[in-house]
Amino acid sequence: MRGNYSFRQLSSTCYRSLQNEPINNKLQNATKTSTPSKKTLTQKRSEPKNKKSAISDSEIVKWNMSITTHMRNGQWESALQVFNSMPRRSSVSYNAMISGYLSNDKFGLARDVFEKMPNRDLVSWNVMLSGYVKNRNLGAARVLFDQMPERDVVSWNAMLSGYAQNGYVDEARKIFDRMPDKNEISWNGLLSTYVQNGRIEEACRLFESKEDWEVVSWNCLMGGYVKRKRLVDARRLFDQMPMRDEISWNTIVTGYAQNGELSEARRLFEESPSRDVFTWTALVSGYVQNGMLDEARRVFNEMPEKNEVSWNAMIAGYVQCKRMDTARDLFEAMPCRNISSWNTMITGYAQSGDISQARNLFDRMSQRDSISWAAIIAGYAQSGHGEEALHLFVKMKRNGERLNRSSFTCSLSACADIAALELGKQLHGRLVKAGLETGCYVGNALLAMYCKCGSIDEAYDIFEEISEKDVVSWNTMIAGYARHGFGKEAMTVFESMKTAGIKPDDVTMVGVLSACSHTGLLDKGTEYFYSMNCDYGITANSKHYTCMIDLLGRAGRLDEAQNLMRNMPFKPDAATWGALLGASRIHGNTELGEKAAKIIFEMEPDNSGMYVLLSNLYAASGRWGDVSRMRLKMRDNGVKKVPGYSWLEVENMVHTFSVGDSFHPEKGRIYAFLEELDFKMKLDGYVSSTKLVLHDVEEEEKEHMLKYHSEKLAVAFGILSIPAGRPIRVMKNLRVCEDCHNAIKHISKIEGRLIILRDSHRFHHFSGGSCSCGDYW
């Protein structure tokens, strides 16, 4: 219980800090660091003026060049020293400082210089404008643009590019139309607006409306075709181009390399007049993406020069093939690691299940970006460490890290895993505030979160709001309804999916079949199973077979289930045997259950759930000797029984309970209430069924222990602390036991409450004395 207790505290920390944490940490820090330089800037204003005439303009030019050089090398402190020690400064000196700060990502410092600058010229305004654009602060950019005393074509082009990069195609077009004079960059700006925002047909029309495009624009349009995998169109442009530069060759090589046409990529690579790091890297990455790792490595070894990106591409190749040791060797060997290199390794470790190595690297990084955070958060979320994932999300916010779609979706999936509905809703709110709730990627994450947190109606609302549903959206909704036991609804969604013209895939059919299985629709499920190959060209995989065996098993057709299993085109895995074991349990077939469990033990000696299932099966038929042998076997094999616990959220706090819990501060009230309930339940006809306890104890003792099962404690606490009329949502890490299931049905009737219980397998909606699973789980 102590272990769970720490989980409770951890989770409540997450909640509080998400609500109260200051939003402007980063801003405050930024102003803090910039304060001293402000002072030095103003101090130096009182320089001796008499020297002014002694310094020639050509001297000043030398100082200015020194500033630029320092800034280019990233030494902005040295640049500031030069600037401060200048006897006289031209506006070029100021402009060099501003643009230097901007290219070193010191936006605040750049703005300070700009605001302190005595006589701004047009370039100063333009530099600052590009700074706002680069910082994606379009509003401020537009204010500055409107304030400018005069504008040249550079100003207009900067504004145009700002709108383009942020997806404001129509605004960009307006700027283009209003421009007093246009140059080639303006034309290219409009073209790239269309290309960058996926409006390739408009780009194409614009391109055809004018002759004499520069090579940049040819490359831009060709790149657009490559991104949309329209290789034939890209190649047509490439062949038509009046002249080609290195980028043209790189673009077309990349196009073929990324689309699996490696031999054509290779041919053009050999044919190109010159090759730079980009060309080489494109080829390496092409081989990597096509799983041709050895060929990739050969090219990589031949490269005349490599940069970080080349190394990262090669490392990513090994990561994809789960060869983490080789990836690590390269990572250690590379001379110029950047954030991406670290991120690639972290992602690799996280995906291969080695979360501690991932965390190790994450902690060792000197600089992290939003991808590093997303990678580690996703790593924890996907390996079942939802609490730690959310903990890191909060930490990330506190560090002032910019939240993006990816960090949100990872955290939403963590919420889904631990069923933190309230936190998930807060994230939803923040997504809307940040304007990031659009797009089906985020929509799908929200949808999955609401499904897994037991809020199926809100899930459906989200589902309806996703404007461009992809196959994942449909699959998530179908699987969501299936897990909640709403077979009819799942079928309705499946039908509308087909009407909408979305082709069901193998995942869809797993959802559909499990919907049938969770609702007991044997005939419908059988029909789908046998017709899906003919109807949608989907060949049944082991998951489909498992659903089918589950469906037959639940219906009591254990022989047919076994037959199907014998005739499967592949070897049954642990999940398939698990379906058979579950069916044996429901129908009390100890012999078959024993057989299935033994096979599962051989496949997964660490699966404690199976030991418990089998023990319970023995206990149910009074075979106590076998029960104790199981316990010995578990001990000898070093398998720890996962302790059962349940949890629920009340006012942003997660409360956790386990069997016989005596830690909760409200335990007195809870236990008293349970006694009271017990009395009422017995009047309602409840008889406690003790056959599923994993202990050989006296009958009375057994009943006592059952009464204190974690889900009962959690439900009792929920009724006491959640206002009437609102559903009580309880989660349990294991499958709900039969006695608790029975008891909660009575409780829902006696108290007139809707109780939604998520166990490790599915959802149960209890109300008015019955459960949505129809006692089938």
Partner DNA sequence: ATAGGGTTAG
Binding test (CB under 7 A) with DNA, winner from 137, 290, 404, 526? 404
Which single residue is written with the structure tokens 């495009």?
Answer: 213
Q: Which residue has the tokens 């699987």?
A: 479
Q: Which is nearer to DNA, 99 or 576 (CB)?
A: 99
Q: Is residue 370 close enough to count as binding DNA by CB under 7 A?
A: yes
Q: How far is the CB of 334 from DNA (least distance, A)?
A: 11
The span from the CA of 373 to the CA of 414, in Å, is: 13
Query: Based on the number of CB atoms within 10 Å of its own CB, is 202 exposed (0-12), middle (13-18) or buried (19 or more)?
Result: middle
Q: How many CB atoms lie within 10 A of CB 275?
A: 18
Contact, 588 vs 596, CB < 8 A? no
Closest distance of CB 409 from DNA, Å: 9
Supply the minimum distance, in Å, between the C-beta of residue 68 and DNA. 4
Question: Of the listed pieces 245-253, 646-654, 719-727, 749-757, which binds DNA according to CB under 7 A?
Answer: 245-253
Does 444 participate in binding DNA (rule CB under 7 A)?
no
Tokens 């057994």, residue located: 702
Residue 777 neighbours by CB under 8 Å, 6+ apart:
518, 735, 736, 741, 759, 761, 762, 764
- The residues with which 543 forms a beta bridge, in sequence order, are none
Least Cα distance to 777 among 612, 644, 579 occurs for: 579
Q: Which amino acid is located at 710 in the chain? A: S
Q: Find the part of the chain contacting DNA (CB under 7 A) among 249-257, 294-302, 612-620, 652-660.
A: 249-257
Strands lying side by side in the sheet with 645-650? 653-658, 645-650, 728-732, 755-758, 763-767, 770-771
Binding to DNA, residues 567-596 (CB under 7 A): none
Binding to DNA by CB under 7 A, coded x per residue (else -) over 12-51, reads ----------------------------------------
| Strand stretches in 597-717, DSSP E | 645-650, 653-658
Nearest alpha carbon to residue 502 among 463, 465, 468: 468
Residue among 283 and 466 whose Cβ is closer to DNA: 283
Q: Which helix (H) or strand (E) holds 432?
A: helix 421-433
Residues numbered 137-196 forming contacts with DNA, rule: CB under 7 A = 152-155, 157-158, 161, 183-186, 188-189, 192
User: Near DNA by CB under 7 A, which window of 87-95, 454-462, 520-528, 559-567?
Assistant: 87-95
Q: Work out whether 219 is an interface residue with DNA (CB under 7 A).
A: yes
Q: Which of 344, 476, 646, 710 binds DNA (CB under 7 A)?
A: 344
Q: How far is CA 644 from the centre of its chain?
A: 28
- Distance of closest approach, residue 93 Cβ to DNA, in angstroms: 9
Token pair in block for residue 434 = 């940040």
Task: For the CB of residue 534, give the shortest distance to DNA in the complex, in Å.
Answer: 37
What is the nearest approach in angstroms of DNA to the Cβ of residue 60?
13
d(CA 323, CA 316): 10
d(CA 774, CA 517): 12
- Token pair for residue 424? 């998930």
In the complex with DNA, the residue whose CB is nearer, 18 or 92, is 92
What tokens does 90 get?
């031209």
Say how many C-beta atoms besides its own lie within 10 A of residue 485's C-beta.
23
Q: Which residue has the tokens 């169109």?
A: 233
To the nearest whole angstrom, how small is the minimum distance from the Cβ of residue 539 to DNA?
28
User: Residue 122 contacts by C-beta under 8 Å, 6 or more apart in sequence?
Assistant: 148, 150, 151, 152, 155
In whole angstroms, the minimum distance from the beta carbon of 56 to DNA comes to: 18
Nearer to DNA, 103 or 137 (CB): 103
What is the Cα 326 distance to its own chain's centre?
26
Cα-based angle 621, 622, 627 (whole degrees, multiple of 5): 100
Min separation Cβ 336 and DNA, Å: 11
Closest CB 354 distance from DNA, rounded Å? 15
User: Among residue numbers 507 through 526, which ones bind DNA (CB under 7 A)?
Assistant: none
Binding test (CB under 7 A) with DNA, winner from 369, 506, 573, 751: 369
Query: Of 309 and 715, which has the nearer Cβ to DNA?
Result: 309
Please report, as residue ranges, which positions from 640 to 669 form the binding site for DNA (by CB under 7 A). Answer: none
The dihedrals phi and psi of 645, each to the nearest 5 degrees, come to -145, 160
Q: Chain centroid to CA 60: how far?
A: 52
Least distance from C-beta 281 to DNA, angstroms?
A: 4
> Treating both helix axes as pointing N-terminal to C-terminal, what angle do 184-196 and 215-227 enclose, rounded to 10 degrees?
0
Nearer to DNA by C-beta: 216 or 575? 216
H or E stretch at 164: helix 153-165
Cβ closest to DNA, residue 155 vs residue 589: 155
Binding of residue 223 to DNA (CB under 7 A): yes
Pull the structure tokens for residue 474: 């449909």
Task: Please identify, using beta-carbon distances, which residue of 132 and 618 lies nearer to DNA.
Answer: 132
Verify binding: residue 696, DNA, rule CB under 7 A.
no
Nearest CB to DNA, comparing residues 281 and 658? 281
Q: Please measure the distance between the N-terminal and C-terminal CA atoms of the chain and give it in whole angstroms.
A: 27
Nearer to DNA, 153 or 634 (CB): 153
One of 1, 148, 339, 586 touching DNA (CB under 7 A)? 339
Interface positions, 117-136, toward DNA (CB under 7 A) = 121-124, 126-127, 130
Give whichever of 247 and 610 is closer to DNA, judged by the CB atom.
Answer: 247
- Of 133 and 551, CB closest to DNA: 133
Judged by CB under 7 A, the number of residues near DNA is 75
- Considering the rule CB under 7 A, would residue 66 count as an interface residue with DNA? no
Least spacing, CB of residue 100 vs DNA, in Å:
7
CB of 659 to DNA, least distance (A): 38
Nearer to DNA, 96 or 719 (CB): 96
Query: CB of residue 21 vs DNA: minimum separation in angstroms?
Result: 23
Least Cβ distance, residue 214 to DNA (angstroms): 4
| Cβ closest to DNA, residue 155 vs residue 508 | 155
- Does 95 bind DNA (CB under 7 A)? Our answer is yes
Three-class DSSP category at 242: coil
**Shortest CB 131 distance to DNA, Å:** 9
Contact 417, 386 (CB under 8 A): yes
Torsion of Cα atoms, 508 then 513 then 516 then 522, to 10°: 150
- The backbone torsions φ and ψ at residue 689, rounded to the nearest 5 degrees and listed phi first, read -105, 115
Q: Does 502 bind DNA (CB under 7 A)?
A: no
Q: List the interface residues with DNA, window 251-290 (CB under 7 A).
A: 251, 254, 258, 276-279, 281-282, 285
Tell me which stretch binds DNA (CB under 7 A): 91-99, 639-647, 655-663, 676-684: 91-99
- Give the binding range for DNA (CB under 7 A) out of 199-207, 242-250, 528-536, 767-775: 242-250
Return d(Cα 114, Cα 131) in angstroms, integer: 11
- Beta-bridge mates of residue 771: 766
Site map (CB under 7 A) of DNA, residues 306-335, x = contact: -xxxx-xx--x-------------------
The SS3 assignment for 728 reads strand
User: Contact with DNA (CB under 7 A): which of 65, 336, 434, 683?
Assistant: 65
Report the candidate in 212, 214, 217, 219 with the shortest Cα–Cα distance to residue 234: 219
CB 67, min distance to DNA, A: 8
| 215 binding DNA? (CB under 7 A) | yes
Q: Which is nearer to DNA, 279 or 616 (CB)?
A: 279
Distance of closest approach, residue 296 Cβ to DNA, in angstroms: 11
Binding to DNA in span 526-565, by CB under 7 A:
none
**Is residue 132 a contact partner of residue 139, using CB atoms and an 8 Å limit?**
no
